[in-house]
Amino acid sequence: MLHVSMVGCGAIGRGVLELLKSDPDVVFDLVIVPEGTMDEARSAVSELAPRARVATHLSESDGRPDLLVECAGHRALEEHIVPALERGIPCMVVSVGALSEPGLAERLEAAARRGGTQVQLLSGAIGAIDALAAARVGGLDEVVYTGRKPPRAWKDTPAEQRVDLDALDGPTVIFEGSARDAARLYPKNANVAATLSLAGLGLDRTSVRLLADPGVEENVHHVEARGAFGGFELTMRGKPLAANPKTSALTVFSVVRALGNRAHAVSI
């Protein structure tokens, strides 16, 4: 049985709890949320994971979970994941885009080494991460990611300063540049770009185009990779989470799969 603590109880966290509430091999003992959201989180957790306690931090008195999984956003990595790694607690991270912050990836690695443990970066809304990482070993020259989402998915982002999202009548490029800049400017939308870059050529050598497209209802991800290994193209059309159109539902499923791989007798 896998004893899990989770950071976050928003759209992703609740989706994970919902899908795993009947899994006897995964037990949630603690859900970590900010002080101001504890009452709301307790209501959700009492229904979806009644054995779990809600708190603002993982303290020494909580014991040592088998795993800490982050589903809370970029700030959670510094506040919760780094200290847990230093205590030797293995962690999973959803908010891979946070690693665009200079030095954060190195701090995570150093904390994991000090704690003698490991941090796993989850694939989230994109596939073929295993193929891309293998291609890097064989010789990878170019990775181009194009992300296409409905205009509403770009609300409350820098895209609103570039275009009138409500008036778009066709696909419109709202960003073109490196994965590092994409993840910095669009942290809730560009985790995919950061994940691809960390598996492949890095944040500064991975090219990214982001589009607001009134003609799509899904989050469309397209990846092109070329190099000595050969080449591949991947297109994925992910349904957005009903509770958060900035996030693909596949992100929730990737967390559930990763936890299942830790807890179940067979891993794939």
Q: Are residues 7 and 117 in the same domain?
A: yes
Alpha-helical (H) ranges within 171-248 are 179-185, 191-199
pLDDT digits (tens, 9 = 90+) for 77-118: 999 999 999 999 999 999 888 888 888 989 999 999 999 999
Q: Are residues 206 and 133 in the same domain?
A: yes
Q: Are residues 145 and 63 in the same domain?
A: no
Contact in structure between 68 and 91 (CB atoms under 8 Å): yes
158: number of Cβ within 10 Å:
12
Domain boundary residue, one of 102, 121, 140: 121
Domain contains 38: yes
Residues of each annotated binding site for NAD(+): 125, 191
CATH number at residue 37: 3.40.50.720
Residues of each annotated binding site: 125, 191
Domain contains 11: yes
Q: Are residues 59 and 146 in the same domain?
A: no
Dihedral sign of CA atoms 86, 87, 90, 96 in order: negative
Domain contains 183: yes
Give the residue-averaged pLDDT of 114-132.
93
Domain contains 266: no
Backbone angles phi, psi at 231, to 5 degrees: -170, 160
Residues 168 and 160: their CA atoms lie apart, in Å, by 11
Domain contains 108: yes
Whose CA is closest to 246, among 126, 152, 110?
A: 152
Domain contains 264: no
Q: Are residues 133 and 109 in the same domain?
A: no
Total tally of structural domains belonging to the chain: 2
Domain contains 71: yes
Q: Are residues 27 and 112 in the same domain?
A: yes
Give the residue-averaged pLDDT of 12-20.
94
Q: Where in the sequence is the domain holding 9, given as residue range(s)? A: 2-121
3 included as an active-site residue: no
Residue 133 has pLDDT above 80, yes or no: yes
Residue of 80, 221, 222, 264 with catalytic role? 221
Q: Are residues 188 and 230 in the same domain?
A: yes
Residue 18 has pLDDT above 80, yes or no: yes
pLDDT digits (tens, 9 = 90+) for 187-229: 777 788 889 999 999 999 999 999 999 999 888 999 999 999 9
Domain contains 260: no
Determine the length of the chain. 268
pLDDT for the residue 240: 77
- Reported pTM: 0.86
Give the residue-averaged pLDDT of 235-259.
86
CATH number at residue 169: 3.30.360.10
pLDDT digits (tens, 9 = 90+) for 141-198: 999 999 999 999 899 999 999 999 999 999 999 999 999 888 888 877 778 888 999 9
pLDDT for the residue 238: 82
Residue 124 sits at the vertex; the CA angle it makes with 18 and 83, to the nearest 5 degrees, is 85
